[in-house]
Amino acid sequence: MKRPAAISLTLAAAALIVGAGCTQHVSNGSSAVSTNSSEPVTHVTTTTTQPPAPPPPTTGIQIGPGPQATYNVQPQPAPGSCHYTYVGSYPLPDPNCTPGAINPQVTQVDIDSTICSTGFTSTIRPPEDVTEPEKDASAAAYGYAGSLHVAEYDHLIPLELGGDPNDPANLWVEPPDNPNATSFANTKDQLESRLNRSVCSGQITLAAAQQAIANNWVAALHTYGG
């Protein structure tokens, strides 16, 4: 049976009214937004705020004067003012007395002509008539009472890693880590050679090696080996 025209128009109008009240769901990643179909769809963007990067670690490493044409005996800390810390049998210097100091003439860009060049360290090493009285004064500063024949007057950052040759901040009397030692050769020497090879082969940067051995050479030994 054919519907009257008036009824058809009424049904059409009702459909429009129902349609105007319907909602549609818009997916935006993990978010869903309900909006009336007669209004523009608004996309919601979620922004994740990243926490600020932590500041770089601070370091007590100093910049020394570098190699000198003539070395002079440098004053050491006051007697008894420095103290060793031991990790097992391994001694660590007092960071307040011996934080480490670098040679400003050795940089990453010139390692091939400096620390990676055979014989470089012998050209900048202070003579014994300078280091012997410094060693005695450093032993007094650290209260070292053992034999100086088995204790090395050590560059915390070694010359082969760009350590300063005669800055007191880079030198300390290092007790032997072997109770039966007959010379001042010690475990730290092996680490120094290993780090020099790693820097010269490009495995680590000069700055990273200097930082590792100055901060805690025993920890560096576990990280890089001897």
Q: Where are the domains of the chain?
A: 76-224
The CA-atom distances, in angstroms, between 111 and each of 45, 107, 226 are: 50, 6, 21
Q: What is the pLDDT of residue 47?
A: 40
Listed residue (213, 51, 203, 74) closest to 136, CA to CA: 74
pLDDT in tens, 150-177: 999 999 999 999 999 999 999 999 999 9
Q: What is the pTM of this model?
A: 0.74
Banded model confidence at residue 226, pLDDT cuts 50, 70, 90: confident
CA neighbor of 184 nearest in space, from 152, 159, 154 = 152
Q: How confident is the model at residue 102 (pLDDT cuts 50, 70, 90)?
A: very high
